[in-house]
Structure 1
Amino acid sequence: MNTKSLTVRLLQIGASLFIGLNSSLAIADTYPSKPIKAIVPFAPGSTTDQIGRAFAAKMSETLGQPVVIENKPGANGLIGADFVAKAPADGYTILIGTNSTNAALKSLVKNLPYNQDTAFTPIGYFGSAPLIVAINNDVPAKSLNGFVSLAKANPGKMTFAYASTSQRVSSEMLASFADIQMTGVSYKSGPNAMTDLIGGQVNMFTSDFGVSLPQVQSGKIRGLAVTSLKRSPVIPELPTVNEALGIKGYELIAFFAAFGPAGMPKDTVLKLNQAINNAAKSKDLVERLSANGFETQAGTPEALGQKIKLETTKWAKAIKEAGMQPE
């Protein structure tokens, strides 16, 4: 090849690289160019669903494209999480994840269909909320201490409902701290479990504020305590579990965040993170969700990644101390 031909060839290669680079940048600049699917791994009406829909609506305003919620409930969130883990990493399928899907399942399921530590890209943190310990109105106990006494007098006869990891672990932890035996009853969704608690099919349900607070306030069930270290300003008359039982160290907070499949483009992650942070700082969203005990908190994808590592260790410890075995 002569010098002239070599020069022409090098120019062609350079032009191709330039076009390819600009095409990649153009793709990044135009994201999102179509609706984004946000998978909620729990049922419609659940707290995760309520929080996911509130954030999705606000994120749409920043991104200029609809963020469409799709519910894929079942197996404590595993079904929805697995769907996202195996989706294309293009930013058009994300997970509204929780402590169940992104911290605790690793310690509860022997053979997860994905590697919890590597299957997801952390995108953005939404916030957290405590749970309310509540019982059916016909249970003859007016306090958590009274319920514990009933459970001690009837080992294994008191039942508790759960539809998520936080709901199950909180009840198992309570049983461990109070040295009582209860029987767990699994439900596909929090609203279904709440229906059975109101109807008396189960005795106790420790659930997210979004599901339980309206029922406690309307008198359909009896609230006994909150699972945080401090009383909730939303329902300050309820003591903490620690106060109610005269113990220390009981705390269980549910958190919510967005994740994508592993390997998402950095620019895409940052655009989604900005939309989430804008939502978390939105006055009307904060006011709406704080009424359900939810506290928003903006943050970076890196901070969420570090939080997930800490939460995974924390939940593994809580699950072990509650005497729960992987299934």
Structure 2
Amino acid sequence: MEIKVKIKNFLFSGMTAALTASALLSGNAMAEKDWPSKSITLVVPFAAGGPTDTVARLIAVPMGQALGQTVVVENVNGAGGTIASTKVARAAPDGYTIYLHHMGMATANALYDKLPYDPMTSFEYIGQVADVPMVLLGKKDLPPNNFKELEAYIKANGSKITMANAGPGAVSQLCGLLFQSRMGVKLTNIPYKGTGPALTDLLGGQVDLLCDQTTQTIPYIKDGRVKAYGTTTMKRLPAIANVPTLDEQGLKGFEVKVWHGMYTPKGVPKPILDKLNAALKKSLNSPDVKKRLEDANIDIVSPDKMTPNGLKTHLEAEVNKWGPIIRKANIPD
């Protein structure tokens, strides 16, 4: 009799556990089906007004429309994006926190010791978004008038030439280091607290060179306030079609773009990721968004890159590209 009772209790406990698990799975499936049922937060790791924030705000509204909920941009700036990355990595994996970060996601491991997250494993991938090209600039009265003359000038003057950047780990610094590495020289690098002050001093003639984004430099190139020696893209930019690429001028394969990708915390269910990816693609295919990004000299990526695998593959390649350059230069030392 006692054995029969125990067997019945065991069977009842097993059935209860199975029913509980089934209910949880059913509840999760229902939650995924009904997602989103509230607003979504799009975290940006930099202050409002910059290129990454511009991209985020341009796609937030159409993404929200595609998802049927408001997408709210939240700026969490500081420590080169690591504060925001940590916040997102620790957020609930329910799809209500998404993240837009630029190429800093690929350089963080080489720049910072003991990150509280892993750029490659702490996030789910939604897709690449857009690229912001860069231009190698010189002050207005720098003697060289083209890239060939600049090469000769650099070889003759070396460390006497100053190259500004926006601080340790900034894309302008990485671009400058890659340029010096390819040229086989070491210039005098001058770090600033942001691209704004660096560009101001270039315009004022206090520094010689700067690698900067097109979103803020094209007007100065067009009015002749700075010299443009080459773009860091593989094709010429329509807005400044008269400026050759560095690749076509001899630095083969020289390409630096401030690329942007969209992520979520690790563990977000695939059905939700699929919805986010579909909303991202729809927003980037919006004629209004295309026009506004084009006006800001920001390039939308190709469809094959607007995918989780497209972003993952690109991130891995960028980690392998920039890690050795950063470590060799002892950044941020």
Same-fold call, TM cutoff 0.5: yes
- 1:188 Cα offset (Å): 4.5
Kindly, what percent of the aligned residue pairs are identical?
29
| Secondary structure of residue in 1 paired with 2:159 | coil
Which residue matches 2:98? Answer: 94
TM-score (norm 2): 0.83
Which residue matches 1:313? Answer: 320
From 181, 192, 195, the counterpart of 1:190: 195
Which residue matches 1:104? Answer: 107
Q: Please give the alpha-carbon distance, in whole angstroms, between the structure 2 residues aligned to 1:223 and 1:258.
A: 31
- Does the CA contact (< 8 Å) of 1:44 and 1:71 recur in 2? yes
For 2:125, give the aligned amino acid.
P
Q: Please give the alpha-carbon distance, in whole angstroms, between the structure 2 residues aligned to 1:289 and 1:52.
A: 11
Which residue matches 2:48? Answer: 44
Q: Please give the alpha-carbon distance, in whole angstroms, between the structure 1 residues aligned to 2:71 and 2:197.
A: 26
Which runs of structure 1 show a deviation greater than 6 angstroms over 4 or more consecutive aligned residues? 2-14
- Does the CA contact (< 8 Å) of 1:194 and 1:211 recur in 2? no
- Does the CA contact (< 8 Å) of 1:187 and 1:193 recur in 2? yes
Give the count of matched residue pairs: 323
Q: Please give the alpha-carbon distance, in whole angstroms, between the structure 1 residues aligned to 2:170 and 2:68.
A: 34
Matched, 1:143 2:150: no
Q: Please give the alpha-carbon distance, in whole angstroms, between the structure 2 residues aligned to 1:85 and 1:201.
A: 41
- Does the CA contact (< 8 Å) of 2:161 and 2:208 recur in 1? no
Which residue matches 1:76? Answer: 80
Q: Please give the alpha-carbon distance, in whole angstroms, between the structure 2 residues aligned to 1:74 and 1:150.
A: 37
Change (3 A) 1:140 1:175: same
- Does the CA contact (< 8 Å) of 2:164 and 2:198 recur in 1? no
| Secondary structure of residue in 2 paired with 1:198 | helix
Q: Please give the alpha-carbon distance, in whole angstroms, between the structure 2 residues aligned to 1:141 and 1:38.
A: 44
| Secondary structure of residue in 2 paired with 1:242 | coil
From 249, 260, 276, the counterpart of 2:280: 276
Change (3 A) 1:135 1:260: same
Q: Please give the alpha-carbon distance, in whole angstroms, between the structure 2 residues aligned to 1:108 and 1:9.
A: 53
Change (3 A) 1:20 1:85: closer
Aligned counterparts, 1:1-12, within 5 A: 1=5
Matched, 1:249 2:253: yes
Q: CA-to-partner distance for each residue in 1:25-76, whole Å, 9 max, x for gaps? A: 2221232222222222223222212112112122111112222222233333
| Secondary structure of residue in 1 paired with 2:91 | coil
- 1:295 Cα offset (Å): 2.9
Change (3 A) 1:305 1:222: same
Aligned counterparts, 1:1-327, within 5 A: 1=5, 16-101=20-105, 103-151=106-154, 152-153=156-157, 155-162=159-166, 165-244=170-249, 246-291=250-295, 292-298=297-303, 299-319=306-326, 323-327=328-332
Q: Please give the alpha-carbon distance, in whole angstroms, between the structure 2 residues aligned to 1:319 and 1:56.
A: 33
- 1:317 Cα offset (Å): 4.9
Q: Please give the alpha-carbon distance, in whole angstroms, between the structure 2 residues aligned to 1:104 and 1:169.
A: 10
Q: Please give the alpha-carbon distance, in whole angstroms, between the structure 1 residues aligned to 2:73 and 2:196.
A: 18
Q: Please give the alpha-carbon distance, in whole angstroms, between the structure 1 residues aligned to 2:68 and 2:204.
A: 44
- Does the CA contact (< 8 Å) of 1:74 and 1:188 recur in 2? no
Change (3 A) 1:9 1:296: same
Answer with 23-32 or 154-163: which moved more. 154-163
Larger radius of gyration: 2
- 1:97 Cα offset (Å): 1.6
Q: Please give the alpha-carbon distance, in whole angstroms, between the structure 2 residues aligned to 1:175 and 1:13.
A: 64
- 1:286 Cα offset (Å): 1.5
- Does the CA contact (< 8 Å) of 2:95 and 2:268 recur in 1? yes
TM-score (norm 1): 0.85
- 1:278 Cα offset (Å): 0.6
Change (3 A) 1:16 1:84: closer
For 1:279, give the aligned amino acid.
S
- Does the CA contact (< 8 Å) of 1:50 and 1:210 recur in 2? no
Q: RMSD of the alignment, in Å?
A: 3.0
Change (3 A) 1:76 1:193: farther
Change (3 A) 1:199 1:49: farther
- 1:16 Cα offset (Å): 4.6
Change (3 A) 1:57 1:188: farther
Q: Which runs of 5+ in 1 are unaligned?
A: none
- 1:220 Cα offset (Å): 4.0
For 1:266, give the aligned amino acid.
K
Answer with 181-190 or 44-53: which moved more. 181-190
Q: Please give the alpha-carbon distance, in whole angstroms, between the structure 2 residues aligned to 1:6 and 1:110.
A: 51
